[in-house]
Structure 1
């Protein structure tokens, strides 16, 4: 721990020294943004002129860079104006066009023209319009960007709907996301969220689609990012208002499966901005049928057969809220802070009929799992007169609580009065993060990025029996350096290395306190070649580490099904992966094609493992997590978007990857299997704000080293209409309208040192749903985003939010 803090403080001292040198870069073009204010009045009556059209023209390029219309008081504020020389063009029907020169500098980025008078004319003046269209898909050197705000069909949905349209992603019916067959880390505005850590699927359902500006898919993260899982990073950029005054959005949806509501408000005056949001989610309780057969054989020859046929009536409810402050001291110094609270609760009663070795029994159960999270971050950012130079310091506190309770009453001939089991557990996860980053552009094409970071994690698990309490401490310190430059005008390079030192200590009931520490280097490199026709070819390599998260480590015995025990494993080692990728991207007459092939080698793959145990004379199955072996994955992904007509969009995303795990010590060799996922979408705009969309998803059977899960197929449609002068929308949607349930079967076969297990599990999810949605935006909206802390290094249970237990 001392070495971690010492290393971090040394790096911090270096960066503070670098910060003190700001201003030595020379008076080059600034990245500081300011604003231009104006009030337009009639030259004779002195009355304000509303809806006067303003256009800001660059003197150098003669192109329009910003614009808008005045309000009822004749006022307009143009935001995010880079220091430069401009011509301000003022026009209104029946008035003479007026031009005013505007000049801003990094030292004085704001320019207030005050009252500007325009005079009437007998000649009609055509209005000056400022228009711009942003591409739905953008290809950058290290990421693919889906600009959700440019896709009008997103109105009325949530983040899950948006994710299905993002290249290279696959989303199952519950909202769990994968990137090219691998685990993925989801960030919000570049930073982790305690809610995402607890349940990605639930968290995505709480984000209205209208609040998403863009989604970044980073398949080859540079060394600037924390060591991360094999799949990559998804970064959701949300909209934030930067307009003077008050603006916000209201969203609501109601349906047969779930209901959502959210309210977002931004107030900005001068250089102070306040953002707040509230949201809620409620899923109706519906019966999900569960049919399980367990057949175990122990080495002593004892046989056991347990069949189960029952239901669980799960419901899910949650709420979230946030409050953020952002203040610009001047053109070069900014501080911001944000507090976010989230709470989700899911569970409910259930009942099952058992046949235990030919004898009948019944079981009545109840379950409640809650996730409470608090995230608080403070960020300071300093820029300079040198374009692209930036220094930042960030701190974040994340605190999570996960109280869980289970109860079962088993009644049989042997227990006519009923045999009751009760278990409770409260998981606590406190995480403290300190980070500093510095970016220095040597030239317009050569940039250096360096930084340091410390993450201090304290995970506790409190059982009903205090003697079994579990505590896990993990401290991670890291430093990185990344350089990017142009080898030629069309060939770009970005590469670097990250060093991470990890120190762990934990206690277990059987082994006492144990310690472990390790140091890893993580190189990364990307070559990007621009081809004819604006096509791009990229070759990349990176090495990643992914540590097990709380759900994998917690040794609490989950006995919600007393014949199928589940427990975490604190002895797990992290996964290490080497990733190679070759990608191609092109635009052909408005169509987009993105294709890639990749190879991934992952050591210490973490998977669930099932084995037989005997307790109280009854054979049971025991599920935990182990480092199963080394996986080699070959894969490809093709994303294409085509417009047969201007208002008709066809989109598809096809992914293929192999599954193969070997371990000579455990004598495991799965052979090679092929996984695939297919997404298809057709969206049509009928004009006058009417939009219709159809989509379908096919996910192939999924393999593990012990078993197989069936394929999943689901489909949906939505119809939306813009209302209230395009400030709002109303729509209807449906999911799997012709099938109530989605039947998924999982079969596991296990041969271990203690015996063998055959398990067949059939779950019937009530997936069919119908719903209506409404959204409304008010105020003037312009959008920016801030740089935040990103903790990307822990492997999360991707099934926890949707498939872990039977949820609605």
Structure 2
């Protein structure tokens, strides 16, 4: 702690000095000058203008509406302010003269009040000025007629999941499969442009439910609660430097309604069910939310086959393995939230979330081992693996808005994840009798505290500057033990397998600055610089491990130009990818003794340079986007597999900094609004990748590793709305072969169709969705090879699905003007496991920390 506290304190003081200058002695006042005025000086006079800004439909006051006062003779802005929480405003100390007032707010059409003449000392009350809602589609929106399914912004692509009716009753995995640029395999592992080195955020901040595996976490989030998914391919300096592939931000549904509301969502299917109850109450300045949901998975059947050949000490061993397995899970997430407006320009937000994951898998393995062509051993192994976790997130955030686009925020977050990755195995002989039993216990506690502060302010009307500081204090404790027993009796420690403890401290001090400039000709340039210093202190039973402290400077540049309906974007950024704490965990995972996984505490961070050129255009009712990208990674963290020299026929998988990865490709997307009610699109992703590196063979000699190839995926979707509340949707996706360092992973397909009916003034709906109903099973074939071994692994998934869903809304709500809420902590800074690949087992995964 003593090593990094001075660095964080110095960094925070440096970043906050300009912020503290905004607060005059004796309290805070809101500046009334608006950027762009001559010297930004308030006028000197004795006249005053007052009034109220209200919504023309609801007659409710519009909070934070902007009021600008212009001198009609000089056409210069001389004063300005924002409305309070009731829509009231006041402009004072105005000289006599002739003026006009411009009133604006996001989501409403601008309104100008002209011919305002003020005499000396006059007090003019404008009464209630009504603004009308502006429903025009913005330039960024890519679908016309109906609400946009896809939106493209300067640094991200947005998929509006609330328009997706086939995902209802499913989970986040069902939604992410339909997002352009993303690929989700049959195990739920998510990749962006072929890279699984991505950060996943929920409402702009991390969550401990992602601590063990992104794939497992996505199963906990119900699709019904997802409003949109943001794919940030070129993060600015404001984001953590972690995530070489990019950032995925999942936005859940919220509301700014007054009154009481209660939503009931339920669904039942042949492979899963869900029940969700979420409520909220808002009155005046205070709001409360309380919610929870439970999800059950069942009837998930998997069959695997494995043919593996290895050569150790001139002995050729062939391993033939078949496995039949199933899995089931109970997931829950419960939350309590509170927000309060301290004043018209200040608010606090607090929340507590608790998540639970009880995932159990069972697999019966039959293994035959041949040595030099002769059958040497036949054995069986029945494995039950448990992945159990309880997660807690507690946040308290503060936001102070001085004027539009000028704000200061403080965010705090405490997270804790108690995780157990255990398995029990019954070892059988050739006659299926239990000979002995084995147990692996892996208990983990991952906790962290984060403090950050951000400030942004406009410079004139076309420039914005942002800067801030952040500190993360992270600690992981992992205990791993192996026990063994005879067919009956108690367990005793197994001396042949390693046991021990990992204590890992990772603390990060960061600071950033970012600058945005927009010209009158619609050029936008956003550049930034971020520095992060990582302090590491780690040890196991064998002593100190790790790579020591290190710092990294991360630049980023985004530029765009819009002309005649066409937008061109250029981007460059440098990213760091720290090894995930789970990848560092030295637990010896032998749930399948022929495919063993073990972490590597000596992993170093990887660095990636990303380049991107994008082109998008609206052609009548069609939106087309093409993005070309390049990615060069040094010290790439990759799975490396080697035959064991002590366990006959076994392959050990660990993680190494192999060297370099190159990827060059293109993303294509087209969306067609055939009518105002019918919309369909097509997307394709393709890239060429080169992987090079070096590892050490079992005999101690270096082995050069090189692999390259083309990765292709694509899909299409269609949706339509009809009269009387009916709607329908269809989606299909195909994933081609994926290149890995030591081989390739086969492709797969996925498709779904659904229909929905709304009734009772949209207070209730019922839906039906079916997936993969024409296919009995999917096969994913993985081929791995090196000088010492060859492996062919087939995974068969039986995932026909049928879901019936029902939704009902209770409560009468009234709409209030949108409120700016306090920002929250946004940790997106460590590499995730991404799930297992190629093993085909359902065994317990190595424990570890936040992903």
Task: Quickly name the TM-score band, shorter chain normalised.
Answer: 0.7 to 0.9
Aligned to 2:19: 18
Q: Distance in 2 between matches of 1:210 and 1:309?
A: 37
Give the secondary-structure state (helix, strand or coil) at the position aligned to 2:211. helix
In structure 2, the CA distance between the partners of 1:791 and 1:672, relative to structure 1 (3 Å rule), is: same
Give the secondary-structure state (helix, strand or coil) at the position aligned to 1:203. helix
Q: Distance in 2 between matches of 1:715 and 1:736?
A: 6
Aligned to 1:548: 579
Contact 1:189 1:786 in 2 (8 A): no
Which residue, out of 428, 441, 445, partners 1:428? 445
Shift of 1:508: 3.1
Shift of 1:727: 2.4
In structure 2, the CA distance between the partners of 1:561 and 1:766, relative to structure 1 (3 Å rule), is: same
Mapping of 1:11-90 within 5 angstroms?
11-14=11-14, 15=16, 18-22=19-23, 26-28=31-33, 66-68=55-57, 77=60, 80=63, 82-84=65-67
Mapping of 1:157-168 within 5 angstroms?
158-168=171-181
Aligned to 1:594: 625
Q: Distance in 2 between matches of 1:415 and 1:408?
A: 13
Shift of 1:614: 3.3
| Correspondence 1:501 to 2:530 | no
Shift of 1:715: 1.1
Mapping of 1:250-269 within 5 angstroms?
250-269=264-283
Q: Distance in 1 between matches of 2:670 and 2:639?
A: 35
Contact 2:335 2:352 in 1 (8 A): yes
Shift of 1:630: 0.3
Which residue, out of 246, 254, 262, partners 2:260? 246
Q: Distance in 2 between matches of 1:744 and 1:241?
A: 41
Give the secondary-structure state (helix, strand or coil) at the position aligned to 2:589. coil
Aligned to 1:670: 706
Give the secondary-structure state (helix, strand or coil) at the position aligned to 2:175. helix
Shift of 1:497: 0.5
| Correspondence 1:469 to 2:474 | no
1:61-117 deviation digits (Å, cap 9, x = unpaired): x9x984545xxxxxx74564525499xxxxxxxxxxxxxxxxx9647441599xxxx
Q: Distance in 2 between matches of 1:802 and 1:322?
A: 36
Shift of 1:563: 2.3
Aligned to 2:429: 412
Shift of 1:538: 0.8
Mapping of 1:397-408 within 5 angstroms?
397-408=414-425
Mapping of 1:675-686 within 5 angstroms?
675-686=711-722
Shift of 1:258: 0.9
Q: Distance in 2 between matches of 1:304 and 1:173?
A: 30
Shift of 1:394: 1.1
Q: Distance in 2 between matches of 1:238 and 1:737?
A: 29
In structure 2, the CA distance between the partners of 1:693 and 1:291, relative to structure 1 (3 Å rule), is: same
Contact 1:400 1:429 in 2 (8 A): yes
Shift of 1:349: 2.8
Give RMSD over aligned pairs.
3.0
Aligned to 1:180: 193
Shift of 1:722: 1.3
Aligned to 2:564: 532
| Correspondence 1:710 to 2:746 | yes
Shift of 1:749: 1.1
Give the secondary-structure state (helix, strand or coil) at the position aligned to 1:304. strand
Q: How many residues align?
A: 732
Q: Distance in 1 between matches of 2:296 and 2:839?
A: 17
* Segment drifting more, 135-144 vs 259-268: 135-144
Which residue, out of 299, 303, 328, partners 1:315? 328
Aligned to 2:548: 516
Shift of 1:732: 0.7
Aligned to 2:316: 303
Q: Distance in 2 between matches of 1:331 and 1:287?
A: 55
Shift of 1:446: 0.9
* Segment drifting more, 252-261 vs 684-693: 684-693
Aligned to 2:768: 732
Aligned to 1:492: 524
In structure 2, the CA distance between the partners of 1:710 and 1:567, relative to structure 1 (3 Å rule), is: same
Shift of 1:719: 1.1
Unaligned stretches of 5+ in structure 1? Answer: 31-58, 70-75, 87-103, 114-127
Q: Distance in 2 between matches of 1:301 and 1:802?
A: 26
Q: Distance in 2 between matches of 1:157 and 1:591?
A: 30
In structure 2, the CA distance between the partners of 1:801 and 1:687, relative to structure 1 (3 Å rule), is: farther
Shift of 1:728: 2.5
| Correspondence 1:336 to 2:349 | yes
Shift of 1:150: 5.9
Aligned to 1:73: none
Shift of 1:413: 5.8
Q: Distance in 2 between matches of 1:457 and 1:246?
A: 39
Shift of 1:585: 1.6
Which residue, out of 204, 212, 217, partners 1:203? 217
Q: Distance in 1 between matches of 2:318 and 2:705?
A: 28
Unaligned stretches of 5+ in structure 2? Answer: 36-48, 70-79, 90-130, 142-147, 483-497, 696-701, 844-851
| Correspondence 1:572 to 2:603 | yes
Q: Distance in 2 between matches of 1:481 and 1:131?
A: 34
Aligned to 1:643: 673
Mapping of 1:768-779 within 5 angstroms?
768-779=800-811
In structure 2, the CA distance between the partners of 1:664 and 1:805, relative to structure 1 (3 Å rule), is: closer
| Correspondence 1:559 to 2:590 | yes
TM-score (norm 1): 0.85
| Correspondence 1:220 to 2:234 | yes
Q: Distance in 2 between matches of 1:592 and 1:472?
A: 49
* Segment drifting more, 365-374 vs 143-152: 143-152
Shift of 1:303: 2.8
